[in-house]
Every structure is written in structure tokens, then in C-alpha cells.
């Protein structure tokens, strides 16, 4: 998803915002997650924080994630599909 599309999705009040807390136990492969119910004010604040950061990066070039190194002034993106293959 392009950042401009993500910004548009976040601006849509119908888009639900959830909070998920994850803890990865470094000594095993176990991941523990908690998804608490949040109040509307916290949902709004999370949405605004993410939207502010997305908007700050929208004008930057986007390239596929490169494990070898980074490209200055470029947002590297990875596909969810790529991670599903792992």
C-alpha cells in the first residue's frame, strides 16, 4: 500500500483503529499478544499520531525493502505477502 493510500484510509473515520501489544520471548519463538479495548479518545490520538507520521513521509520515494542497506530519503516498503511465505 502506498503511503498516500494509507493516509486516505486513516482519514476515513470508518476505519477502525485497534491497539495490539506484542511480546516476543527472546529465548523461544513464543509471541504473546494482548488487544485491549480502547476508548474513542485514545483511538483518535493513535490515528492522529500515525497519520502525522504517514503524511510526513508521503512525498518521499518508496522502494522495495533492501536487506543489504538503506537508501537515503527513501521509504522502504515490504509486502505482507512476502512475510506470509516465511
**Parallel/antiparallel/unpaired status of strands 21-24 and 31-34:** antiparallel
- pTM flag (> 0.75): no
Q: What is the mean pLDDT of residues 61-67?
A: 84
DSSP designation for 76: E
pLDDT of 10 > 70? The answer is: yes
Query: Structurally, how many domains does the chain consist of?
Result: 1
Q: In this structure, are residues 60 and 75 in contact, taking their beta carbons and an 8 Å threshold?
A: yes
Q: Which domain holds residue 75?
A: 3-84
Amino acid at each position: 500500500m502506498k503511503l498516500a493510500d494509507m493516509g486516505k484510509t486513516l482519514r476515513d473515520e470508518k476505519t477502525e483503529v485497534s491497539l495490539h501489544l506484542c511480546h516476543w520471548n527472546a529465548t523461544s519463538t513464543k509471541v504473546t499478544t494482548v488487544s485491549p479495548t480502547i476508548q474513542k479518545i485514545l483511538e483518535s490520538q493513535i490515528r492522529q499520531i500515525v497519520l502525522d507520521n504517514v503524511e510526513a513521509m508521503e512525498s518521499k520515494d518508496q522502494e522495495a525493502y533492501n536487506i543489504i542497506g538503506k537508501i537515503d530519503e527513501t521509504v522502504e516498503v515490504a509486502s505482507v505477502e512476502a512475510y506470509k511465505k516465511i
